[in-house]
């Protein structure tokens, strides 16, 4: 055959791959405001700059400062008991962010573990885990979640249980597929041939290779967790008084829509912006890790 | 039918059935874990003999295995038990509420498709342009906003401030507008993103270039050649989203006091009416399995390769 | 002999994130009726860009800087001008690299042929569509056109799909056919059959064929004239035998030297 494969000199230079660097830069610019917001909700209460959060029945349902009738004493206005909404907003944001992070961890942890096991050991382990993944992805588990809450009542542990139950499967599916691919790669075959122990292969060699994907999935899961939490808290099934999250602020704002719409407006806007940034960041990380596997 | 087809269909049915059994068992388990329902019904002060009689009447004194089999038999004969709260058959209550939810889901999904698909196609055919960036960001925004909050803000704007549309309850088509719009946000965003990804894969296929080289018009290449090939994932997500909305439209129905299944579920949870909660979970699972089957049927209609 | 295709001074560049890349640089080429012209070069030499420029299938970031493409009497490409839609599929048919994947998997062969015919033949009747579909498949040396017409692409063998793809390019009776690396993915036996088929088509229909390949031996076997490309330029052009026997350019000599010799 006369296949022509020669002359590197005349072959045009292929353009340098910049996609990776660009994704890294955009990830940084997305992560920055998130970090600032996270620090702000924890630091602000310590500064003493926030208005007093107590009741004041002389100043109920005050609009935010930039509307007619508002004042800078209460930048975001007050609720029906005259409590300052900015103070509530900051402390609720703290809980929302914590729930988002922990909620993602409790979903990603078991998801990764099960995906690794299924992908590495295959056989019946894989079959059982795959059926569970399919069942989870094919069934309305939000209803099951509601049933659990009906059963056990609303509390943070129950909320995390629900977040874990609803979130693990996506991560497990991706990890399983990636593990299946990696275990056939030369270095793993070599390790097995050299007699490395299986836990060592799985956790010291395969897991680090998946780290990028898992971090990206975990980031996206933070957004999902915050949205699920806000919906449950809105229905009075997630975070309930005396604790406060942005979702539960929406619940108290629901009854006040006609008189004081701003009570619900700012927490909802904050959730939207936060989740949007988290999703953009997750997409950027996923693209950076593997440009072909963008989230659908 | 080829042997491979039979095997594939069989395998699919088996795994769907397994999923259904898992969900049914979970629902049963949740019902049993909830403790003694007689306390809920008769109140904590009821004398033990009376509670014993009720336990017998409800079949709670039978072995758990027998109860489980009875429960499964009930599920497959359409008997989902009795509500503790309403003293009615759960099946008939679900049947009463279902039309409202169907209205809402139907209108919401139609809207989601009408906007989401063209948006996704627009982004895919102009990949890398500002159109694409705009459409994609809009779609991601739709997946980031808490939809019930979006609904609340619609109420503030269109019902409270402008007074154009009613804020709650059902009835006239005007009552449907805001809830359906709210309902459409998430699936619209999901469909748009998926359509973009799926279309841009399809547009990169060699047969698209070939069709263009044969002089086929751009519109026909995009819709007839690329879109039909990109359609399967979109159909899948439409059907599955419909399932999620049918059982999970709780928050939207709550915002608009819409008398559908979601509200019923919420009432059941708030009153700890476990048989009703269980019945709604079972109903949702059945709907999901049926919709999954529908996806498979649609797939075989669209794609000759899987017939 | 009338000129079917004429490229004169065609220069094309691609705009990339970090500058411009010249894809074609001052390319001249001509094909006449009944002639087979081979365009030979390694990957990245610009031969595929050349083929795609004629039917207007260039990427969005690609621009014609200088020169023209003329099909028949019509100038279809010039800087800022793209009238390729008027010849695409009618005067010019194209067969692609991976011909068996150039069929839409969801449509029957009959539907795909009918689509092209309806597009290019005004007021064609249903019976006429069927007649010409069968006719073109017979021309492709397909024994049972009826079965092939009623099949989906995945139900056909690779060789059959290849011939259907060629049939789709010639069913509208174009004067010029462009084949872009369309034998690369094939095994040697099928490749020989396809090459024979092309030769018969040229002889029977009197079309012109632009045969783009990286395979110099194959090109010399099939083509009347050969243009050797490298780095976006035509470095040598001439009668096939002349180019092979008395290469004027160092580059062509090296290409030839890379061919394993049997003697």
pLDDT in tens, B141-157: 999 999 889 988 888 88
Max Cα–Cα distance, chain B, nearest Å:
85
Pick the closest to residue C15 from C66, C58, C78 (CA basis). C58
For A258-276, how does the pLDDT look when each residue is reduced to its tens digit (9 = 90+)? 777 888 888 899 999 999 9
The reply to whether A282 falls in a domain is yes
Residue A4: inside a domain, yes or no?
Answer: no
pLDDT band of A15, cuts 50, 70, 90: very low
- The CATH code belonging to domain B91-306 is 1.10.3720.10
Quote the pLDDT of residue B15: 79
Residue B3, pLDDT above cutoff 90 = no
**Residue A58 resides in a domain:** no
Return the pLDDT at C135.
92
- pLDDT at residue B34, rounded to an integer: 62
C242-258 mean pLDDT = 76
pLDDT for A13 equals: 33
Question: pLDDT band for position B36 (50/70/90)?
Answer: low
Compute the nearest-CA separation of B59 from chain C (Å): 55
CB A240 within 8 A of CB A248: yes
- pLDDT mean across residues, chain B: 84
Count of C-beta atoms within a 10 Å radius of residue B103: 18
Establish how many alpha carbons lie within 13 A of residue A111's alpha carbon, considering only the half-sphere containing its beta carbon.
31
pLDDT at C148: 94
Mean pLDDT of B58-75: 82
Render pLDDT for B200-209 as a digit per residue (tens, 0 to 9). Answer: 989 988 899 9
SS3 content of chain A, % helix, strand, coil (to 5): 70, 0, 30
pLDDT band at C256 (very low <50, low <70, confident <90, very high): confident
Indicate the domain borders of chain C.
Answer: 98-169
Nearest to B296 by CA among B247, B237, B236, B250: B236
pTM over 0.90: no
Please check whether residue A73 lies inside any domain of the structure.
no
Q: pLDDT tens-digit profile of C22-60?
A: 899 999 999 999 899 999 988 888 888 999 999 888 888
Give domain status of residue A79, yes or no: no
Helix (H, G, I), strand (E, B) or coil at A242: coil
Per-residue pLDDT at A22:
67
pLDDT for C236 equals: 87
Q: Distance of alpha carbon B115 from its chain centroid, rounded?
A: 19
B303 contacts in C (CB within 8 Å)? 105-106
Neighbours of chain A (3+ CB pairs under 8 A): B, C
Asked if B218 has any chain C CB less than 8 Å from its own CB, the reply is: no
Position B37 pLDDT exceeds 70:
no
User: Residue C249: helix, strand or coil by DSSP?
Assistant: coil
CA-closest candidate to residue C23, choices C56, C57, C48: C48
Residue A11 is predicted with a pLDDT of: 31
In the sheet that holds C74-78, the strands lie side by side as C19-32, C3-16, C62-71, C74-78, C81-82
Q: Which residues of C touch A16 (CB under 8 A)?
A: 18
CATH 1.10.3720.10 intervals, chain B: 91-306
User: Which of A138, A150, A268 comes nearest B274 by C-beta?
Assistant: A150
- In the stretch 44-83 of chain C, residues with CB closer than 8 A to chain B read 55, 57, 60
The per-residue pLDDT for C262 is 53
pLDDT tens for C160-214 read 888 999 999 999 999 999 998 887 777 888 888 888 899 998 988 889 999 999 8
pLDDT at A290: 60
- The total domain count for chain A is 1
List, as one string, the DSSP characters of A120-173.
HH-HHHHHHHHHHHHHHHHS-HHHHHHHHHHHH-S-HHHHHHHHHHHHHHHHHH
DSSP chain B: --HHHHHHHHHHHHHHHHHHHHHHHHHHHHHHHT--HHHHHH-TTS-HHHHHHHHHHHTTTS-HHHHHHHHHHHHHTT---B-TTT-SBHHHHHHHHHHHHHHHHHHHHHHHHHHHHHHHHHHHHTTTSHHHHHHHHHHHHHHHS-HHHHHHHHIIIIIIIS--S--S---SHHHHHHHHHHHHHHHHHHHHHHHHHHHHHHHTSHHHHHHHHTT--HHHIIIIIIIHHHHHHHHHHHHHHHHHHHHH-HHHHHHTT--SHHHHHHHHHHTT-HHHHHHHHHHHHHHHHHHHHHHHHHHHHH-GGG-
Pairing of strands C62-71, C36-40: unpaired
Chain A residues within an 8 Å CB radius of C232: 12
**CB of C96 less than 8 A from some CB of B:** yes
Residue range(s) defining the domain that contains residue A183? 15-45+84-294
pLDDT at A1: 35
Residue B117 pLDDT: 94
Distance in angstroms (rounded) separating the CA atoms of residues B179 and A152:
31
CATH of the domain at A247: 1.10.3720.10
- A68, part of any domain: no
ipTM: 0.87
- Number of residues in chain A: 296
Window 124-183 of C, Cβ < 8 Å to B: 152, 154, 165, 168-169, 172
Quick one: pLDDT band at residue A291, thresholds 50, 70, 90?
very low
State the pLDDT at residue A226: 93
């Amino acid at each position: 055959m006369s296949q022509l494969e020669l002359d590197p000199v005349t072959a045009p230079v292929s353009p340098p791959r910049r996609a990776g660097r660009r994704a890294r830069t955009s990830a940084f610019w997305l992560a920055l405001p998130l970090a600032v917001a996270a620090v702000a909700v924890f630091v602000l209460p310590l500064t003493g700059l926030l208005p007093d959060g107590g009741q004041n029945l002389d100043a109920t349902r005050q609009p935010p400062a930039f509307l007619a009738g508002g004042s800078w004493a209460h930048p975001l206005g007050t609720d029906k008991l005259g409590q300052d909404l900015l103070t509530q907003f900051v402390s609720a944001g703290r809980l929302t962010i914590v729930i988002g992070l922990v909620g993602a961890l409790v979903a990603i942890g078991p998801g990764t573990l099960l995906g690794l096991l299924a992908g590495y050991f295959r056989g019946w382990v894989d079959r059982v885990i795959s059926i569970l993944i399919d069942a989870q992805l094919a069934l309305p588990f939000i209803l099951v979640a509601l049933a659990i809450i009906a059963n056990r009542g609303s509390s943070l542990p129950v909320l995390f249980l629900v977040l874990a139950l609803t979130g693990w499967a996506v991560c497990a599916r991706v990890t399983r597929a990636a593990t299946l691919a990696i275990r056939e790669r030369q270095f793993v075959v070599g390790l097995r041939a050299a007699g490395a122990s299986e836990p060592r292969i799985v956790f010291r060699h395969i897991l680090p290779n998946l780290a990028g994907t898992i971090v990206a999935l975990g980031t996206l899961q933070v957004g999902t967790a915050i949205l699920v939490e806000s919906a449950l808290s809105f229905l009075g099934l997630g975070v309930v008084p005396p604790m406060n999250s942005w979702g539960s602020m929406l619940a108290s704002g629901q009854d006040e829509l006609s008189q004081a719409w701003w009570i619900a407006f700012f927490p909802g806007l904050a959730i939207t912006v936060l989740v949007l940034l988290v999703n953009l960041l997750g997409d950027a990380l996923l693209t950076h890790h593997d440009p072909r596997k963008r989230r659908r | 039918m080829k042997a491979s087809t039979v095997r594939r269909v069989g395998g699919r049915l088996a795994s769907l059935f397994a999923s259904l059994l898992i969900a049914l068992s979970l629902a049963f388990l949740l019902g049993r874990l909830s403790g003694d329902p007689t306390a809920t019904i008769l109140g904590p002060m009821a004398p033990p003999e009376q509670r014993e009689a009720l336990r017998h009447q409800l079949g709670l004194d039978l072995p758990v295995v027998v109860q489980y089999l009875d429960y499964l038999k009930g599920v497959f004969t359409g008997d989902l038990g009795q509500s503790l709260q309403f003293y009615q058959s759960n099946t008939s209550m679900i049947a009463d509420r279902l039309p409202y939810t169907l209205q809402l889901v139907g209108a919401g999904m139609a809207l989601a498709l009408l906007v989401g698909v063209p948006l996704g196609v627009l982004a895919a055919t102009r990949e890398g342009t500002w159109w694409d960036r705009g459409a994609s960001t809009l779609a991601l925004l739709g997946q980031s906003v808490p939809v019930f909050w979006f609904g609340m803000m619609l109420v503030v704007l269109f019902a409270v401030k402008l007074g154009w549309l009613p804020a709650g309850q059902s009835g006239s088509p005007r009552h449907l507008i805001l809830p359906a719009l709210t309902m459409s946000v998430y699936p619209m965003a999901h469909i748009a993103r998926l359509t973009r990804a799926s279309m841009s894969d399809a547009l990169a296929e060699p047969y698209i270039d070939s069709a263009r080289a044969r002089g086929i018009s751009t519109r026909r290449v995009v819709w007839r050649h690329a879109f039909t090939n990109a359609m399967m994932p979109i159909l899948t997500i439409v059907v599955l989203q419909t399932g999620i909305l049918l059982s999970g439209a709780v928050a939207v129905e709550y915002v608009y006091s819409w008398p559908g299944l979601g509200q019923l579920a919420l009432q059941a949870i708030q009153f700890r009416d476990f048989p009703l909660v269980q019945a709604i979970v079972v109903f949702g699972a059945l709907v999901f399995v049926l919709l999954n089957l529908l996806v498979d049927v649609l797939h075989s209609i669209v794609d000759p390769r899987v017939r | 002999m009338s000129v079917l295709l004429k490229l004169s001074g065609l220069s094309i560049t691609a705009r990339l994130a970090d500058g411009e890349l010249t894809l074609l640089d001052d390319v001249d080429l001509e094909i006449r009726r009944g002639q087979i012209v081979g365009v030979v070069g390694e990957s990245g030499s610009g031969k595929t860009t050349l083929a795609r420029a004629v039917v207007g299938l260039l990427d969005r970031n690609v621009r014609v800087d200088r020169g023209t493409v003329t099909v028949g009497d019509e100038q279809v490409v010039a800087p800022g001008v793209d009238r390729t839609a008027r010849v695409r599929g009618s005067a010019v048919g194209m067969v692609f690299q991976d011909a068996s994947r150039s069929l839409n998997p969801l449509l029957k062969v009959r539907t795909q042929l009918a689509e092209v015919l309806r597009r290019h033949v005004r007021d064609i009747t249903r019976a006429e569509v069927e007649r010409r579909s069968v006719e073109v498949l017979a021309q492709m040396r397909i024994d049972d056109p009826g079965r092939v017409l009623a099949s989906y692409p995945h139900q056909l063998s690779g060789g059959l799909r290849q011939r259907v793809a060629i049939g789709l390019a010639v069913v509208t009776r174009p004067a010029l056919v462009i084949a872009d690396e369309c034998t690369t993915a094939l095994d040697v036996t099928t490749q020989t059959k396809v090459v024979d088929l092309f030769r018969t088509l040229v002889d029977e229909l009197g079309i012109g064929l632009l045969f783009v390949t990286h395979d110099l031996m194959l090109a010399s076997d099939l083509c009347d004239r050969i243009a050797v490309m490298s780095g976006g330029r035509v470095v040598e052009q001439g009668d096939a035998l002349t180019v092979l026997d008395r290469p004027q350019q160092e580059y062509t000599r090296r290409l030839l030297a890379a061919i394993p010799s049997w003697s």
